Structures are given as structure tokens and as C-alpha cells.
Amino acid sequence: MQAFVAACGSLGFAGLDAADLLEPETLHSADAADVVRLVTLVRRLVEVRAALAGAGVGPELARILAELPQLEGFLAFCDLRLGPAGEILDSASPALAQARAARERNRTAIVSAMDRIRRQHKVLSAPFTLRRDRYCVPVPASERNVVPGLVLDASSSGATIFLEPFGVVELNNALAQATALARAEEERVLAELASAFHGRRESLLQGARMLAILDAAQARTLFGQACDGILLEPGAAESVRLVSARHPLLDPVLAPLRGEALGDAGNTHSVVPLDLEFPDDTRLVLLSGPNAGGKTVAIKTLGLAALMAQSGIPVLAAAGSGLPSFGRLWCHLGDEQDLFSDLSTFTGAMRATAALLADADADTLVLYDELGSGTDPEEGAALAAALLEELARRSCWTLATAHLITVAAHLENVPGALNAAMGYDEASGRPTYRLHLGTPGRSRGLAIASSCGVPGPVLTRAREMLSRSFLAIDGYLEALQEERGRLSQERERLERLESDAEIARARAEEERERLSGEQEKVHRRLEEEREALRRRAKDQLAAALAQLEQARTRGEFPGKKRVAAVRRTALDLGPDRPAPPEHAEPLAPGTTVRLIGMASTGQVLRVAGDRVEVLVKDKRLWVEAGACEPIAPASPAITGDVEVAAIQAPPAELKLIGMTQEEAREEVERFLDRALVSGIGHVRIVHGHGTGALRRVVREVLSHHPAVAHFAHPPQYRGGTGATEAELDLS
């Protein structure tokens, strides 16, 4: 219904009360006004059905639409016979139209005849009039014989008589006859309409029931919009929880609606909303505190909220509210004193209590105001404590109020029960109307009596007469209240600290995410630079090998110096290549050097100008002096051939198992480049059998590499098709 009202506006239900006229005995005696009300009901059914049919409605409204009778034809039948003011229309029947036409012709003829008679007789100065439904003229009694006619009536004084001239007697007769015919036909039409309504009685009653359902649903929707309420589904919550709940008779938002419905807008000022939540394992809450502090209003607010939720009416509360499902609601509010029944306040309360205990169970919501009042305080407190124990034992949902401090003290030891208090501002001496769970409240009767003007000596004497036990308990409650105030302040401080910590945590998280993003950017940039360097090295190597191939094609056979220079050029990666130190010591036999672009180290055997012979493992290499980086001075003990103490040379075998195809391709290319520069002529690549994808990658790289002279699978005892061995052209 909410979606329909929001999209199409509200529906009108005026005339729905006419359903009471559909009783058979009422229809038989229906007059024109009754028939008009019934026609209004039919018109409302037709209008509502058309409104629902013309809008996209949900399943519930669609079901109601299907049960609304189709009465468009019947409404046309009624509109042909009855006007909006209840008049019978000429179109109701030809006989009625003829009778009314004859009536008007006779009336016109009578008026013309009367005008002629008045002109003939000077004594007829007064206009003609009606007496006994017949047209006549007033004539002075003394002039009776001047105008021939029949006397119809006389004035109270007898000075004037009402005379029907003989010239209009027949016309009056004809008018009376036409009027009687028209009246009889009108009665027949009304009877016809009543009979038609009687024949459609069941469908009209069904339609009225559907309109009543729609009217109630729309009323709930409009009420929810007016009060900004929320729908609470009974049983959706496991405990009682009301957030910012308001009583409908106190909420200022509903003041215009109260004025319209009740004639009195009531309170128009802001009110303190009720926050009430039963903690886990708590079914009973006892409210105590000062008079006029809001205890009874809290009880009534909970009771109304429960009834409204059960009836599908929006509750005046905020989001987060919820109520369990109640099987019954029992309440004791106000004074049940009845002088006629010899029923005292306390007797009435006890009879109600007995009725409560006869049926109360775990699904009952009990609302009990002023427990233990109306009798001796000691006996009343004992009865109240015993009743609360029994309600807690039965797990009844209970909200009760009491001013007896001993009852609140006893409740501290009752399982499933909890004390609560309505707040009180010590500084202003006024209640705060806010509910606080956990501690009982003080009645503050003396303080309220003082504010109401009770003389000081009386209050002083009253304080002197208070028992020590009461003063001790009252002092204990006062200390509890002060402690609660301190705890409240501490809680607010901790909440502020928690809020600050949460803000700091959020900022740290943002900073962490920012740094993570920066690290990701740096990582991507390094990867891009590495990939660019790899591509450049690959391109340079391809270009160098192409130069060598062109030289061979031309019949040129470059020497080792030229080949080494080409290799260095191919492996020159720009600024990343470390430059030789400006003041490096000259190379001498026995110097341990690292070959730039290689992981291997070796020892200088001979120096010939800008070329150096280096022993790497068991191989002798001639390289440019600039490609050697000294890492240890020459050893004087070395003569002739030297034994190399170097970092292990690149292995002649590469394992690809477990890599992706792209990773394998890059590793094979780097492996061949290192082997070529290191002078390794025979290499072995282990790719495994698997699906054959890595084997195909290896064959593809080896097929296109210009330095590979030959490759094939080794014999089975050396790996077979799970490995590939290649020979490199080192010339």
C-alpha cells in the first residue's frame, strides 16, 4: 500500500458506512436518501477498482482487486434513475417523464388562469397561493361573493378566506392527478432500485469488506507518513528494544492530527523519547524514580508500541527497534476504585492480579503500574516482591513501576529481573525523563513536596521521622547514582578515545594503502625497465650476430678481437653497465678479475697491449682489457700457468621444469647469451616430458638463435626426449 500511495496518492472511501443499509429489512424501507448513500457506495467501489486496475500493484493489492465486484454497468443503471441530490430523474421511466410533463402543463395553465382572474377582480391584490395542494387566491371575507369559487381555508382571524375560483377547479384536479401519478412512479423507481441493490447484496457486502481492508491499510500508511514511524514485525526481535519511542498523544508531530480527530491538539512541545532495551536473559524490568518522572508514560508507550506492531500500524520509534511476539497483553494502569461495587483501590488491584496469574505465561506482556500501593507499605512491598518473583519465574515479559524501595532492593537477587530508574537532575531539581537500566531510582518525595510549596518545618519533621534503614538505603542509592554518573562520564571519555583511535586506524590504513600503491608502482616501473633492458640486449645481440653473419657472407673472417668487441657491444646495456674505475691499476699476470657481463672470475695469464689472456676454469680466453674488473692484486707466487680461484662459471645445464612458457623462453635466451659469452660450446636444457609445451618452446628458441649450430635430444640414458642438447658456434 505504501508504494501505491506514493505513486498514485490516497484513495477516497467516503460512503463506506452505507454498507449498513444492505440489511434486507433496511432495504425494504429504504427512502431516497438511503438509496443515494447506497449509490455512493457503488460509485466508490467503481472508482477504487479503476484506480487499482490502472496502476501496477503488488500481489496483496492484486488479490483485493480480484475480489472487488465489477459494478460499472450497475452504476450506470443507478445514474440513469437517480440524481446526485437524491432526486428521481425523468430518465427513470417514460411514465414518470409523462406525468411530470403533464404536471408542469397544468401548473402553467393554472398560473395563467389565476393571472386572468386577478386582472378581472380588483379585490384580488394579493398573489395566489397553495392550500391543501391546490392553487387559490386570498380574498377578504367581506368580498366573498365577488369571486365565484370554493372556499378551501380561512385565516386564523377569519378576516381572509382562501378561495379556489371555479375557473381553475378542473385544472387543479388535473394537476393533482398528474402529481399523484408522478409520485407513484417515483415510489416505483425507488422500489426498483432497492430491489436491484437487494439482488446484488452479497457482492456489495464483499466489495465493502475489501474497501474496509483498503481503508485500514491506507490509514496505517498515512499515519506512518504523518508520524515518521516504522513497521515492527512481531517476533522479528528476541527481546524488547525501543529506540527513540514516542507516545502518540505526546508527540508534537501528531498535534494537527490529534486536533482533527480528537478536537484537541494536546502537547505541541518537544518531548524526550524513550530508549528501552531488555538486556539478554532479562524478562522483567522494575522502574522506580521520582513522581512525574515518566514511569507511567514509559509503560503506556511500550504497551501501545506492542499493540500497534501486532496490528500492522507504524510505531513511533527509530530504526533499530524491535519487539518479540506476544500472545497476550495484560495491563494494570490507574485506579480501579468503584464506589457502586464497593471496590477499593487495593481490592481492585488484587482482583486484577489474580486474573493475571490465572493465565500469564512466557508469551504474556505484563504492564503493572504502582505495584504494592493502596495498602500498608510493608505488606504491599511483600506482595509486590512476591508477584515479581512469580512473573520472573514464568518468564513473562514485564515492565512494572513501584515507589517501594524495599521491592527494588529485593529484585537485585531475582534471576531474570533488572532494576531501572527514571533520571533526575540534581542541579535543577527536575526529572530528565530518561530511562537508565541497572540501578533503582529514588522517589524523592520530600524534594517534590518542597517544590510544590509544602512548608519547611513539615519537611524537616518528616526527615527526622524517616527510619535509619530507609536513610541507609536512600544514601546507598544516591551513591549508586553518583557512581553511575562517573561511569557515564568515563564511558563518554572512552567512546571519544575509541573514536579517535578509529580515526587514527583509518588514517594508518589509508597510509598503508598509499604506500602499498607506491610500492606497486615502483615494482611495475622496475619490471618495465628490466623488460626494456632485456629487449634492448636481445636486439643488440641480434644486430651483432647479423653483422657477423654479413661479414662471413662477404668472405670476411673477423678475428677473436673483433668477435669480442661485437659481443661487448651486444651486451652493452647502457648506463646500467658499470664503468671501469678511472684510476684502476694496470692489469698484470696473476691478477684476479671479473669479466664484465659474466658471473665468472678468472686470473690474468698474459697482457698484450689492450688485450688480456684470462684463465677461466680450464679455458683460456682473450678479452679486451676494459672488459676485466680487478678484484684482487696480482700474486707474485704465480708463474707460468696459474690456478684460478674464481666464482663458479655459469653452469652448462638449464632446468625449466615448473616454469610457464614465457618464463622458460626468457630463461633459455639468457642462458644461451651467458654460455656464448663464457665460451661454453655445449649446453644441456632439461624441460621434461609433460605436455610437450616446454619442449616446443626450447626447440623454437634454439631454431631461431643465430649462435646455435646444432641441437637434438640426447640418448635415453641421458634424458632422452626430456632434455635437449645444443652445440654453440663460438667462432
At 301-351, the pLDDT tens digits run 999 999 999 988 999 999 999 999 999 999 988 665 555 444 567 787 888
Cβ–Cβ under 8 Å, residues 327 and 363: yes
Residue 573: predicted pLDDT: 45
Q: Is 283 helix (H, G, I), strand (E, B) or coil?
A: coil
Residue 629: predicted pLDDT: 82
Same structural domain, 339 and 420: yes
Residue 361: predicted pLDDT: 93
What is the DSSP pairing of strand 417-425 with strand 430-437?
A: antiparallel
Percent residues over pLDDT 70 in the chain: 84
Q: In this predicted model, which residue has the larger pLDDT, 526 or 415? A: 415
300: nearest Cα among 319, 326, 269, 276: 276
Residue 472: predicted pLDDT: 55
Residue 583: predicted pLDDT: 43
User: Does residue 178 fall inside a structural domain?
Assistant: yes
Residue 577: predicted pLDDT: 42
415-424, 576-585, 620-629, 672-681: lowest mean pLDDT where?
Answer: 576-585
∠ Cα 614 617 620 (to 5°): 35
Residue 285: predicted pLDDT: 94
- The Cα–Cα gap between 80 and 97 comes to 13
User: Does residue 425 fall inside a structural domain?
Assistant: yes
717 has a pLDDT exceeding 90: no
∠ Cα 706 712 713 (to 5°): 145
Residue 658: predicted pLDDT: 82
Same structural domain, 209 and 184: no
User: Does residue 152 fall inside a structural domain?
Assistant: yes
Cβ–Cβ under 8 Å, residues 371 and 356: no
Of the pLDDT bands very low, low, confident and very high (cuts 50, 70, 90), residue 642 is very low
Same structural domain, 213 and 277: no
Residue 520: predicted pLDDT: 84
Cell digits of residue 457: 518545618
393 has a pLDDT exceeding 90: yes
Cell digits of residue 58: 503488488
CATH of the domain at 241: 3.40.50.300
Residue 478: predicted pLDDT: 62
Residue 689: predicted pLDDT: 83
How many other CB atoms are there within 10 angstroms of residue 297's CB atom?
19
- The Cα–Cα gap between 60 and 63 comes to 5
What is the DSSP pairing of strand 653-655 with strand 628-632?
A: unpaired
637 has a pLDDT exceeding 50: no
The sign one gets for the Cα dihedral 329, 330, 334, 339 is: positive
349: nearest Cα among 335, 361, 366: 335
Domain end among 427, 455, 483: 455
The sign one gets for the Cα dihedral 645, 649, 655, 658 is: positive
How many other CB atoms are there within 10 angstroms of residue 324's CB atom?
19
Which residues touch 243 (CB under 8 Å, ≥6 apart)? 275, 317, 318, 319, 320, 321
Residue 649: predicted pLDDT: 47
Residue 424: predicted pLDDT: 74
85-99, 264-278, 473-487, 505-519: lowest mean pLDDT where?
Answer: 473-487
User: Does residue 641 fall inside a structural domain?
Assistant: no
Same structural domain, 243 and 189: no
Same structural domain, 241 and 390: yes
Q: In this predicted model, which residue has the larger pLDDT, 375 or 130? A: 130
Instruction: Tally helices (H) and strands (E) across the chain.
Output: 19, 21
Cβ–Cβ under 8 Å, residues 653 and 685: yes
Residue 644: predicted pLDDT: 36
Alpha helices in 572-660 (DSSP H): none
Which residues touch 301 (CB under 8 Å, ≥6 apart)? 242, 245, 246, 247, 274
∠ Cα 183 188 193 (to 5°): 125
190 has a pLDDT exceeding 80: yes
39: nearest Cα among 26, 21, 52, 23: 21
Of the pLDDT bands very low, low, confident and very high (cuts 50, 70, 90), residue 597 is low
Same structural domain, 153 and 34: no
- The Cα–Cα gap between 178 and 252 comes to 63
Cell digits of residue 101: 410533463
Of the pLDDT bands very low, low, confident and very high (cuts 50, 70, 90), residue 557 is low
User: Does residue 219 fall inside a structural domain?
Assistant: yes
Same structural domain, 283 and 383: yes
81-95, 456-470, 603-617: lowest mean pLDDT where?
Answer: 456-470
Q: How many domains does the chain have?
A: 4
The mean pLDDT of 715-729, rounded to a whole number, is: 86
User: Does residue 319 fall inside a structural domain?
Assistant: yes
Domain end among 400, 421, 455: 455
614 has a pLDDT exceeding 80: yes
Q: Is residue 460 exposed (0-12), middle (13-18) or buried (19+ Cβ within 10 Å)?
A: exposed
Parent domain of 364: 230-455
Residue 409: predicted pLDDT: 81
User: Does residue 77 fall inside a structural domain?
Assistant: no
SS percent in the chain: helix, strand, coil, step 5: 50, 15, 30
Same structural domain, 305 and 412: yes
Q: Indicate the average pLDDT of the chain.
A: 81
Ranked by mean pLDDT, the top range of 51-65, 142-156, 292-306, 443-457 is 292-306
455-464, 533-542, 637-646: lowest mean pLDDT where?
Answer: 637-646
- The Cα–Cα gap between 381 and 372 comes to 5
Same structural domain, 318 and 447: yes
What is the per-residue pLDDT across 214-268, written as a single tens digit (0 to 9) for each?
A: 888 888 888 888 888 899 988 888 999 999 999 998 888 888 888 888 888 888 8
Same structural domain, 297 and 421: yes
CATH of the domain at 676: 3.30.1370.110
Determine the distance from the C-alpha atom of residue 320 to the mean position of all C-alpha atoms in its chain, rounded to a whole number. Answer: 10
506 has a pLDDT exceeding 70: yes
360 has a pLDDT exceeding 60: yes
What is the per-residue pLDDT across 377-390, written as a single tens digit (0 to 9) for each?
A: 788 888 989 999 99
Torsion angle of C-alpha atoms 44, 46, 49, 51, degrees rounded to 10: -80
Of the pLDDT bands very low, low, confident and very high (cuts 50, 70, 90), residue 529 is confident
Residue 638: predicted pLDDT: 42
Residue 338: predicted pLDDT: 54
Same structural domain, 304 and 288: yes
pTM, two decimal places: 0.55
Ranked by mean pLDDT, the top range of 112-116, 284-288, 672-676 is 284-288
Same structural domain, 128 and 167: yes
- Using N-to-C axis directions, what is the helix angle for 693-704 and 661-678, rounded to 10°? 40
Residue 647: predicted pLDDT: 36
User: Does residue 309 fall inside a structural domain?
Assistant: yes
Residue 608: predicted pLDDT: 76
Percent residues over pLDDT 90 in the chain: 19
Residue 366: predicted pLDDT: 94
- The Cα–Cα gap between 468 and 466 comes to 7
576 has a pLDDT exceeding 50: no
Residue 568: predicted pLDDT: 55
468 has a pLDDT exceeding 60: no
Domain end among 414, 436, 455: 455
